[in-house]
Amino acid sequence: MRHINSYINGFGTAVPDHIVLQQQAVDFMTEALQFDERDRRRLSALYRQTRIDQRHSVLPDFNRQFGEFTFFPNTPGMEPFPTVSQRMSVYRQEAVPLAMRAIENCLDDRKQEEESDTFDRQQITHLITVSCTGLYAPGPDIELIEALGLPTTTQRLAINFMGCYGAFNGLKAADAIVRADPEAKVLVVCVELCTIHFQKKTEVDHLLSNALFADGAAAVLVEGQPRSDKSLMLRSFYCDLLPEGKAEMAWHISDFGFEMTLTSEVPAYIEKGISQLMDQLLERSDLSIEDIGGFALHPGGRKILEVIEQQLGMTAHDNRHAYNVLRQFGNMSSATVLFVLNEIWQQLRTDADFTAFEEAVIPDHKPHVLSCAFGPGLTLESMILDVILPEPELVSVKSSSASARA
């Protein structure tokens, strides 16, 4: 019997239009928390240490002056502070349009395969939605079916409230579906509006959360056959749990939004568990760390990336895709790791000089990508993806054909 694999054949990302520079965020937080100049300087130092330059939000308030807010009250202390109901109203209004932008980018990317620019979205058989920053029913899954014009018989799965590692569960579900039915075409979309849950609290973990989190959406298309030009094969997954760290990262619904607990101890717990996690993942993949040619780590924060580098013997250059996403977009919860993988995906372009291209994209001819993310529990999720590219002679043939047609 033929061994069945699943392949990521399309990527799409999207962020809201409102760009918030970190210094603008400091100004907003200073006003919201009514900090004096001394506390403002401390807050500014914390924001600089994140290595984030800017983030995006569906709310315009974070780069507006007091008195110009449209969501938060223009009153001292922002009272009455927005309720869960008001925040969920924003989620219902903004989540699906943002998700649709990511999906349209994903489907456009899928159409870019040479001689296959007629991919029909009606072929999509399954829709998997991932989110931890809002929920309602009938939910985004049904609204997306309608917005995409998909058949009402399209199968749906909603993965909710799992935090930053939620994309892995979406990909594992898509992988299982395709392995069971090679003709399936599974659309996975993560959409997170973290900034609507700003908490007006001065505890260090709340200050850190407000300095890191942002809004964004990402979508991938998983199929049973690779594209002719490039694909990422879902090779293997591995998950572990560190219950002793469950108090260090949590996500609870309060009267005034969803409250994130993210303590400074999280990197220490990840440092303790990451080596064993990677050993188990690599063992079940029949690989060693030396076989890995690329890394797509969830940038939960600068310190988390640094401790993983130390434990795995990585360099900052090895981890450059995560740092690029962290710098430009911050932590968008479940969508973030797909942004990191998208950075690798965008480099996978066929080139007439295949040798130079291959070496640039897959150092030392190691077509394996290691990816991991972390979330409440403390949960550690990981996977190996294999880069699938055409043989060099096929690239030369395609290049010659293209020149002849020109």
In the structure encoding, which two tokens stand for residue 209, read together? 């959360």
Average pLDDT rounded to a whole number, residues 237-264:
86
In this prediction, residue 117 carries a pLDDT of: 62
Superfamily for the 231-396 domain: Thiolase/Chalcone synthase (3.40.47.10)
Per-residue DSSP letters for 96-126?
HHHHHHHHHHHHHHHTTSTT-TT--GGG--E
CATH class of 7-223: alpha beta
Q: Which of 310-314, 358-362, 383-387 has the highest mean pLDDT?
A: 383-387
Average pLDDT rounded to a whole number, residues 68-96:
95
Q: Which residue has the higher pLDDT, 64 or 116?
A: 64
Q: Which residue has the higher pLDDT, 185 or 357?
A: 185
Model confidence band, residue 406 (pLDDT cutoffs 50, 70, 90)? very low
Q: What angle do CA 105, 107, 113 make, to 5 degrees?
A: 110
pLDDT, tens digit (0-9, with 9 covering 90-100), for 42-53 = 999 999 999 999
Angle between helices 22-33 and 37-49 (to 10 degrees): 140
Q: What angle do CA 245, 246, 247 make, to 5 degrees?
A: 95
Angle between helices 204-212 and 22-33 (to 10 degrees): 140
Q: How far apart are CA 102 and CA 266, in angstroms?
A: 30
pLDDT, tens digit (0-9, with 9 covering 90-100), for 324-369 = 999 999 999 999 999 999 999 998 864 433 343 344 445 455 789 9
pLDDT, tens digit (0-9, with 9 covering 90-100), for 132-172 = 999 999 999 999 999 999 999 999 999 999 999 999 999 99
| Residue spans per domain, the chain | 7-223, 231-396
Matching fold, domains 7-223 and 231-396: yes
DSSP state of 254: E
Across 97-132, b (16+ Cβ under 10 Å) vs e yields ebbbbbbbbbbebbeebeeeeebebeebbbbbbbbb
The residues, any chain, with a CB within 8 Å of residue 40's CB and separated by 6 or more, are 26, 30
In this prediction, residue 393 carries a pLDDT of: 44
Q: Under a CB-based contact definition with an 8 Å cutoff, are residues 240 and 276 in contact? A: yes
In this prediction, residue 191 carries a pLDDT of: 98
The residues, any chain, with a CB within 8 Å of residue 28's CB and separated by 6 or more, are 20, 61, 62, 63, 64
Residue 164 annotated in active site: yes
In this prediction, residue 118 carries a pLDDT of: 65
pLDDT at residue 383 is higher than 60:
yes
In the structure encoding, which two tokens stand for residue 382, read together? 């990981």
**SS in 3 state form for 314-348?**
CCCCCCHHHHHHHHHHCECHHHHHHHHHHHHHHHC
Asked whether the CA dihedral 81, 86, 88, 91 is positive or negative, the reply is negative
Model confidence band, residue 224 (pLDDT cutoffs 50, 70, 90)? very high
**SS in 3 state form for 143-182?**
HHHHHHCCCCCCEEEEEECCHHHHHHHHHHHHHHHHHHCC
Which stretch of 16-20, 113-117, 345-349, 400-404 has the lowest confidence by average pLDDT? 400-404
Q: Coil, strand or helix: which one is 133?
A: coil
Q: How far apart are CA 53 and CA 341, in angstroms?
A: 20
DSSP state of 213: B
Q: How far apart are CA 146 and CA 35, in angstroms?
A: 46
Q: Token pair 């150092």 is at which residue?
A: 363
The residues, any chain, with a CB within 8 Å of residue 286's CB and separated by 6 or more, are none
Among residues 132, 164, 190, 194, which one is catalytic? 164
In the structure encoding, which two tokens stand for residue 126, read together? 């399954």
Q: Under a CB-based contact definition with an 8 Å cutoff, are residues 249 and 378 in contact? A: yes
Model confidence band, residue 402 (pLDDT cutoffs 50, 70, 90)? very low
Q: Under a CB-based contact definition with an 8 Å cutoff, are residues 218 and 338 in contact? A: yes
